Amino acid sequence: MNNILEFYDLLLKKYGSQGWWPVQGNNSKLEICIGTILTQNTSWKNVEKVIKILNKENLINIEALSEISTKKLALLIKSSGYYNQKARKIKEFIKFLNSDKEITRENLLSIWGIGKETADSILLYAYGEPYFVVDAYTKKIFSRLGYCNKDIKYEELQKLIIDNIPKDVNLYKEFHALLVRHGKELNNT
């Protein structure tokens, strides 16, 4: 395979449109942001359970998340794993939103607990900014296809991909979702 866009087309033909990011509640932008934090080091199935709980408790809003204690939030998100750290990350993210700082990659990366993948997921899925998300599936798949070595740095792989496909938010979303789907399929075989 010599063309990254051809690979995208193959994945789309095989799996169809993924329609990502799945949102359960009314505050989709904040739910996506919280979901990106919760999905760190855990499966989406566990995140869905937690999002359902947070929606049921009316906690997918900035005011409620500002007021809830970190300890109580941690108990509610326990099934997402690393719940004490994730509760703190969510609280730090909410403080950032309350600061009225501009939502930029640099500003997101300045928040405790927000790394490149999480920042890019927030920017792409919640704010519609053209940042391609590089996750473990992306690295694994692209290295297996010979596009890169398995030790490639995040920014290098991100640049490799965006330099070889059109700059389009919807394409970035769909391609990333297809890579996740394909990665999951490979893990199940």
Check whether residue 44 and residue 116 sit in a common domain.
yes
Position 1 scores a pLDDT of 47
Check whether residue 87 and residue 47 sit in a common domain.
yes
Domain of residue 67, residue span: 28-126
Task: State how many domains the chain has.
Answer: 2
Q: Which of 126, 142, 161 is the last residue of a domain?
A: 126
Check whether residue 162 and residue 117 sit in a common domain.
no
Tell whether omega for the bond before 21 is within 30 degrees of 0, i.e. cis: yes
Check whether residue 38 and residue 101 sit in a common domain.
yes
CB contact at 8 A, 173 and 35: no
Check whether residue 110 and residue 143 sit in a common domain.
no
Q: Which of 105, 126, 147 is the last residue of a domain?
A: 126
Distance CA 91, CA 17 (A): 33
Distance CA 178, CA 184 (A): 10
* Digitized pLDDT (tens) for each residue of the chain, 189 residues in all: 459 999 999 999 999 999 877 777 667 899 999 999 999 998 888 999 999 999 999 999 999 999 999 999 999 999 999 999 999 999 999 999 999 899 999 999 999 999 999 999 999 999 999 999 999 999 999 999 999 999 999 999 999 999 999 999 999 999 999 999 999 888 765
Distance CA 25, CA 149 (A): 40
Check whether residue 109 and residue 61 sit in a common domain.
yes
Closest C-alpha to 156, from 172, 179, 140, 139: 139
Position 2 scores a pLDDT of 58
Check whether residue 15 and residue 81 sit in a common domain.
no
